[in-house]
Amino acid sequence: MTLFVQAPLANKLFGYGFNNVFEALETIQLGVRAEEQISDAHSIYFNTLITSGIVGCILWAAFIGILFYRAIRMIQQKKDHGIYVLIGLLCILIQGLVIGPQIITTPIILTEFGVFYSLVVTHPWDE
């Protein structure tokens, strides 16, 4: 959070870019602790804030909000796959509180978001 608070306005709005957390932390001398290099923030939320800024966080939240809205709407329409999407989203968001981005989890989560999107937004059975 110190990095975000001390960041210039452009970095607060648009972030430092993906995979640049270490370099950004080095600008305020926080990149190395106990001889370990910090390469990502400690949660997906902080990492998104640092790498893509406020604009990226708002767009990310809007995307997730659309998925939530459509999943709840599908549950109200008695379509079973809406509950699967809702449970999947909740699981991803809860684990994101304590687990930062990792080489294996990030592609899996992005793939899951694509599947969720196809189930609740672009599916052919909406008619």
* pLDDT(71) > 60: yes
pLDDT band at 30 (very low <50, low <70, confident <90, very high): low
Structure confidence by residue, pLDDT tens digits, 53-66: 999 999 999 999 99
Q: In a 10 Å sphere around its CB, with 0-12 CB exposed, 13-18 middle and 19+ buried, how is residue 79 labelled?
A: middle
- The percentage of residues in the chain with a pLDDT greater than 70, rounded to a whole number, is 91
Task: Say whether pLDDT at 124 is over 60.
Answer: no
Strand, coil or helix: what is 37?
A: strand
Residue 68 has pLDDT above 90, yes or no: yes
